[in-house]
Amino acid sequence: MCEECGCGITGESDRKIIEIFEDILKYNRFQAIHNREHLEEHRIYAINLMSAPGSGKTTLLEKTLENLNHKYRIGVIEGDLETERDAERIRKKGIPVYQITTGTACHLNATLIHKAIHHLPLNEIDILFVENIGNLVCPANYELGTHLNVTLLSVPEGEDKPEKYPLIFKVSDVVIITKIDLLPYFDFNLEKVKEGIQKVNPKTQFIALSAKTGEGFEDWIIFLEKKFKEYRDRL
Amino acid sequence: MHEYFIVQNIIKTIEEIIKDYPGKKIVKAIFLIGKFSGIEIELLKNALEFFKKETPLEEAEIVFELEDLKIKCLNCGAENIKDKWNLMCPNCGSMNTEVISGEELFLKTLELV
């Protein structure tokens, strides 16, 4: 508005509206793309493990390492741990581990992954597991540059989680229902949960297992090996 | 924490853009945020108001435009707005749908003087 007479004609000439339409998280996306290129240069297949705290990411990881360690060279990036104790356990198996100490951060992002991969012997790794921060909300927003997004949902968490936290299931290529040995003790209808997740993400795949009893674990290993083979064939 | 990280990204994006307009000041910034982008608008607003000091956004009015989740059915062609993240077509029940909007996290426009 013109300060002299109050009309709306003058004074606007130097006002300029620029259209941007830019993704606010583009820096993370660029970094994620860079990470992916880097991993592929070294023919590494990378897996992002996400879940709420206590869903069994570390246990799943340990059992998976036991199953694959003799066949593939594995690496691990730990984001989830409060202490070095679990990382130490993995290191003892002779597996290279880099622990990201995020303090109180709620998610890993592509920059943190970039720093971490440069601490690992990339020429000596076939499959890289990234254990994300235990959180069903924030990790969903951040691409890391990994090839496979895996979300764990444990039976005691309850069957309403996909409806309450759809975003994480939306970005998941595969959902693993863990702790199925506890199914007799909880109101957790496997079929109903699958149906609920499919409404959120029709393309996602399912595996149900118990790392404790070993039930269903083979399905996960077969799935992983198949994915890894497809990836290597594609390169 | 999460919102702070996003604010950092916003400020970085804007600092890059404003370099091309020397001597100009931002008076208004409009953001386009999908209802299912994973962002809490109130938290982002508070974080941005707090951290915009001593950045090019310091004197800018911040506006958030919300975008509904809209899906298009590839089976029957119907377009629908959903209030929950559920990709089933309410018209024919098909899961063969695509998301048209609702996931945006965009800086839409800047107004400069």
Q: Tell me the pLDDT of chain B (113 aa) as tens digits.
A: 578 889 999 999 999 999 999 999 999 999 999 999 988 899 999 999 999 999 999 999 999 999 999 999 999 999 999 999 999 999 999 999 999 999 999 999 999 99
Asked if the Cβ–Cβ distance from A27 to B6 is below 8 Å, we say no
* Residue A143 is assigned to a structural domain of this protein: yes
Supply A19's token pair: 């259209």
pLDDT band at A80 (very low <50, low <70, confident <90, very high): confident
* Residue A10 is assigned to a structural domain of this protein: no
pLDDT at B55: 95
A14 interfaces chain B, CB cutoff of 8 Å:
yes
Contact A102, A112 (CB under 8 A): yes
A29 interfaces chain B, CB cutoff of 8 Å:
no
Q: Is the dihedral of CA A160, A164, A165, A167 positive or negative?
A: positive
Asked if the Cβ–Cβ distance from B9 to A166 is below 8 Å, we say no
Cα separations (Å) of A146 from A26, A50, A138? Answer: 16, 12, 16
User: What pTM was estimated for this model as a whole?
Assistant: 0.89
Within chain A, what is the greatest distance between any pair of CA atoms? 83
pLDDT at B1: 54
* Residue A130 is assigned to a structural domain of this protein: yes
* Residue A186 is assigned to a structural domain of this protein: yes
pLDDT at A81: 65
Cα separations (Å) of B38 from A2, A142, B103? Answer: 42, 10, 8
| CATH code (residue A107) | 3.40.50.300
Supply B51's token pair: 């951290």
Q: Provide CB contacts within 8 A for A199, sequence distance 6+.
A: B86, B87, B88, B95
Supply A4's token pair: 């002299």
Q: Which ipTM value was assigned to this complex? A: 0.85
- Total number of domains in chain A: 1
Domain that holds residue B45: 2-112
* Residue A124 is assigned to a structural domain of this protein: yes
Range of lowest pLDDT (A22-36, A92-106, A132-146)? A92-106
Asked if the Cβ–Cβ distance from A27 to B108 is below 8 Å, we say no
- CA B58 to chain A, closest CA, distance in angstroms equals 17
Write the pLDDT tens digit of every residue in A43-72: 999 999 999 999 999 999 999 999 999 999
| Better pLDDT: A8 or B38 | B38
Domain that holds residue A77: 26-234
Tell how strand B79-82 and strand B69-73 pair up.
antiparallel
- Inter-axis angle of helices B2-18 and A26-41, nearest 10: 100
Edge-to-edge strands of the sheet including B61-67? A16-23, B105-112, B26-34, B61-67
- Total number of domains in chain B: 1
B92 interfaces chain A, CB cutoff of 8 Å:
no
- CA B106 to chain A, closest CA, distance in angstroms equals 5
Asked if the Cβ–Cβ distance from A109 to B5 is below 8 Å, we say yes
Q: Please give the mean pLDDT across all residues of chain A.
A: 91
The β-bridge partners of B71 are: B80, B99
Tell me what percent of the residues of chain A surpass a pLDDT of 70.
Answer: 92
pLDDT band at A192 (very low <50, low <70, confident <90, very high): very high
| CATH code (residue B68) | 3.30.2320.80
- CA A210 to chain B, closest CA, distance in angstroms equals 28
B45 interfaces chain A, CB cutoff of 8 Å:
no
pLDDT band at A178 (very low <50, low <70, confident <90, very high): very high
* Residue A16 is assigned to a structural domain of this protein: no
Q: Is residue A221 over pLDDT 70?
A: yes
Q: Which amino acid is at A148?
A: L
Q: Select the residue of A15, A106, A167 nearest B1 (Cβ to Cβ).
A: A106
- Inter-axis angle of helices B41-51 and B2-18, nearest 10: 60
* Residue A129 is assigned to a structural domain of this protein: yes
Asked if the Cβ–Cβ distance from B106 to A21 is below 8 Å, we say yes
Within chain B, what is the greatest distance between any pair of CA atoms? 55
* Residue A188 is assigned to a structural domain of this protein: yes
- CA A109 to chain B, closest CA, distance in angstroms equals 10
Q: Residue B18's closest CA among B112, B96, B108?
A: B112
